[in-house]
């Protein structure tokens, strides 16, 4: 049996693999601390679950339009206008089975062989694989660690050439845990106004910023940018709805329509009663969002301090998302390893702590730790790591 070159050319998601392995070890009775999954540990707020139950009782169990229900598109369009200052008509919104699916579809409908995608690094594990699956070429733009991994406008502009089709921006950032300031994004935006490229702004962590960090939607930052930006988001991180698989993209009509057509052959509609509950989530009381964010902020600070107190580990202060992206390369000798994969394996085997190897995000010197877990688990895991590396 020979699988296609296309499928053979990709690697399974490291983030999902680490979470699956940690869950499997737990099922075997092992006391594993998982810093793997980028998944809030909170339950989905009760009013959203109630809305799903009501939708089921009301019979919302049948097909809906493949590109999403008109009511949810309208709710998303209103949310983007109200919270983000973005003016997208409901017809410019596609609802997908999670943010990941929306990104996949967008790469599929835009890329032809030879097209280049500028990908800031560290990058979320699925971007390069999705780009390759769509026939595109990844052009990695490495951030500098001493600049919190952020790129300068100049670095981006210099990389643009005739073949450049898309620039991917993800702020707040997975795995880096940093966020660009509005001023930094604005200078990037100004440089791109007259460039013939499309910008993917992945804003899935928009509500998770800490300290004085402010969030701003990229497409608002310069005139005309909305016509060449596709804004991605979803409900997973904001409302702790990872398993519901409701994400969306908003952008130029042509791109969104093509994504809808693609979905009509690929998945059909996202789950009907989940879409109904998503409307309630977007339109309901947003206190839960703030409460979860406040808890993440405490954990961010705690994990950051504890990691930097371990000899050989350095980590930038998280200002967004829920990750510490720690440089652990000075500890490799201590564990007799030479890379992040072997380091993560050793930590899992010897200390029962699950980390995601940085190599999956383009940085073999680092590991990613998610603090979307309780303070108690954070302390337990870091006690173990500290002991192992002592």
Residues of this chain that bind ligand GLU (CB under 6 A) = 13, 15-16, 37-39, 100, 124-126, 174
Output 20 or 160, the one with its CB closest to ligand GLU. Answer: 20
Residue 35 or 332 with smaller CB distance to ligand GLU: 35
Nearer of residues 202 and 364 to ligand GLU, judged by Cβ: 202
Least distance CB 73 / ligand GLU (angstroms): 23
CA distances from 118 to 67, 113, 138, 226, 290 (A): 27, 15, 6, 19, 33
Of residues 16 and 56, the one with the C-beta less far from ligand GLU:
16
Q: CB of 100: closest distance to ligand GLU in angstroms?
A: 5
Residue number with the shortest CB distance to ligand GLU? Answer: 38
Minimum CB distance to ligand GLU smaller for 24 or for 61: 24
Long-range contact set of residues 146-152: C-beta below 8 Å, sequence gap at least 24: 148/176, 148/178, 148/316, 148/319, 149/120, 149/121, 149/122, 149/173, 149/176, 149/178, 149/316, 149/325, 150/178, 150/180, 150/184, 151/120, 151/188
Of the candidates 382, 372, 373, 360, the one whose C-alpha atom is nearest the C-alpha of residue 315 is: 382
Nearest CA to 175 among 366, 382, 380?
366
Of 34 and 319, the one with the shorter C-beta distance to ligand GLU is 34
Least distance to ligand GLU, CB of residue 21, Å: 13
Residue nearer to ligand GLU on the CB measure, 88 or 361: 361
Rounded Cα gap, residues 117 and 199, in angstroms: 10
Nearest distance from C-beta of residue 163 to ligand GLU, angstroms: 28
In the complex, the smallest distance separating the C-beta of residue 38 from ligand GLU, rounded to whole angstroms, is: 3
Report helix angle 70-84 to 272-283, nearest 10: 30
Shorter beta-carbon distance to ligand GLU: residue 60 or 99:
99
- Contact between 99 and 202 (Cβ < 8 Å): yes
Which tokens belong to 256? 């969104």
| C-alpha span between 293 and 71 (Å, rounded) | 27
CA distance 121 to 160: 16
Q: How far is the CB of 338 from ligand GLU (least distance, A)?
A: 24
Give min distance, CB of 174 to ligand GLU, in A. Answer: 5
Alpha-carbon distances, residue 271 vs 62, 65, 98, 172 (angstroms):
9, 11, 11, 27
Q: What is the torsional sign of CA 55, 372, 362, 156?
A: positive
**Of the two residues 174 and 209, which places its CB atom closer to ligand GLU in the complex?**
174
> Are the C-beta atoms of 137 and 115 separated by less than 8 Å?
yes
Residue 310 C-beta: closest distance to ligand GLU, Å: 22
Residue 11 CB, shortest distance to ligand GLU, in Å, is 12
Beta strand pairing call for 323-327 and 314-315? antiparallel
């Amino acid at each position: 049996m020979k699988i296609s070159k296309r499928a053979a050319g990709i690697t399974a998601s490291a983030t999902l693999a680490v979470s699956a392995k940690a869950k499997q070890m737990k099922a075997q009775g092992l006391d594993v601390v998982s810093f793997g999954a980028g998944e809030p540990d909170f339950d989905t707020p009760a009013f959203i679950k109630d809305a799903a139950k009501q939708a089921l009782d009301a019979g919302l169990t049948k097909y809906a339009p493949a590109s999403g229900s008109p009511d949810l598109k309208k709710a998303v369009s209103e949310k983007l206008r109200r919270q983000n200052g973005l003016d997208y008509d409901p017809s410019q919104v596609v609802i997908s089975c999670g943010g990941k699916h929306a990104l996949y579809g967008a790469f599929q409908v835009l890329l032809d062989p030879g097209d280049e995608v500028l990908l800031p690094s560290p990058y979320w594990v699925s971007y390069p694989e999705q780009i390759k699956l769509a026939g595109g070429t990844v052009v990695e733009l490495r951030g500098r660690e001493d600049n919190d991994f952020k790129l300068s406008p100049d670095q981006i502009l210099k990389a643009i050439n005739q073949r450049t089709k898309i620039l991917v921006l993800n702020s707040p950032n997975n795995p880096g845990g940093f966020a660009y300031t509005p001023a930094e994004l604005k200078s990037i935006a100004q440089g791109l106004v007259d460039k013939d490229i499309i910008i993917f702004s992945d804003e899935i962590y928009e509500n998770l910023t800490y300290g004085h960090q402010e969030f701003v939607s990229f497409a608002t930052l310069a005139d005309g940018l909305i016509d060449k930006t596709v804004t991605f988001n979803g409900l997973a991180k904001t409302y702790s709805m990872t398993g519901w698989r409701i994400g969306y993209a908003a952008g130029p009509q042509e791109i969104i329509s093509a994504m809808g057509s693609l979905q009509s052959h690929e998945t059909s509609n996202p789950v009907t009663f989940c879409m109904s509950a998503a409307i309630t989530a977007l339109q309901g009381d947003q206190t839960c969002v703030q409460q979860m964010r406040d808890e993440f902020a405490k954990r961010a600070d705690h994990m950051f301090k504890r990691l930097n107190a371990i000899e050989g580990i350095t980590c930038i202060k998280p200002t967004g998302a829920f990750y510490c992206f720690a440089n652990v390369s000075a500890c490799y000798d201590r564990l007799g390893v030479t890379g992040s994969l072997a380091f993560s394996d050793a930590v899992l085997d010897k200390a029962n702590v699950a980390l995601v190897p940085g190599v999956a995000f383009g940085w073999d010197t680092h590991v990613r730790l998610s603090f979307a877990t309780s303070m108690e688990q954070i302390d337990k895991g870091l006690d173990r790591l500290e002991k192992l590396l002592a």
